[in-house]
Amino acid sequence: MLRNLPLLCLVLIPGQAPPREDLNHLFAQAATAEPKKALPVLAKLVRVLDDAVLPRNELKMQLQRWAKIAEEKAKTPEDVLQALGPTVNKRVSRQILFHRYLEYWEIERPFALRFVFEARRGEVTSLQAATVALDQNQ
């Protein structure tokens, strides 16, 4: 599936921050790949950031980079779930509008993220926004 992409192998010691150049390489790889090929790289970034111990503002900055790329590459709810990996804890709410609805996902685990999807009758549900939702207590 990822034949044309150079693979990067990261060896992380739990509780240690990954080298900045490795994170930058993974972000560049996700940003330049085709949408379907970028999703596994985004999932790998989630695992790397989840294992890393980063200062709060550094983590928020990296998650904002992740959300921006995810917003460009992930088009459907299934794509978002694939980009987040298997350990997703989410709450879903819907706002019903005229001939459409907005679906809001509040992701709690692995990171506090918010996704907004728009759904219209007869069309595929599409991602409208991805944002970081870190509050003061995290």
pLDDT score of 138:
46
- Average pLDDT over every residue of 119-128: 90
The vertex-130 CA angle with 6 and 56, nearest 5°, equals 80
More confident residue, 15 or 58: 58
Give the domain extent around 80: 20-132
Give the chain's domain count: 1
**Is the pLDDT at 130 greater than 50, yes or no?**
yes
In a domain, 65, yes or no: yes
Return all residues near 88 (Cβ < 8 A) that are at least 6 apart.
81, 107, 109, 110
Q: CA-CA distance, 134 to 138, in Å (whole number)?
A: 6
Verdict on whether the full-model pTM lies above 0.85: no
Average pLDDT, the chain: 82
In a domain, 13, yes or no: no
Say whether 47 sits in a helix, a strand or coil. helix
In a domain, 76, yes or no: yes
In a domain, 3, yes or no: no
pLDDT digits (tens, 9 = 90+) for 2-14: 455 444 444 444 5
Say whether 108 sits in a helix, a strand or coil. strand
pLDDT score of 80:
92
In a domain, 12, yes or no: no
Q: What percent of the chain has pLDDT over 90?
A: 41
In a domain, 82, yes or no: yes
pLDDT interval class at 34 (50, 70, 90): very high
Q: CA-CA distance, 65 to 27, in Å (whole number)?
A: 8
In a domain, 54, yes or no: yes
In a domain, 110, yes or no: yes
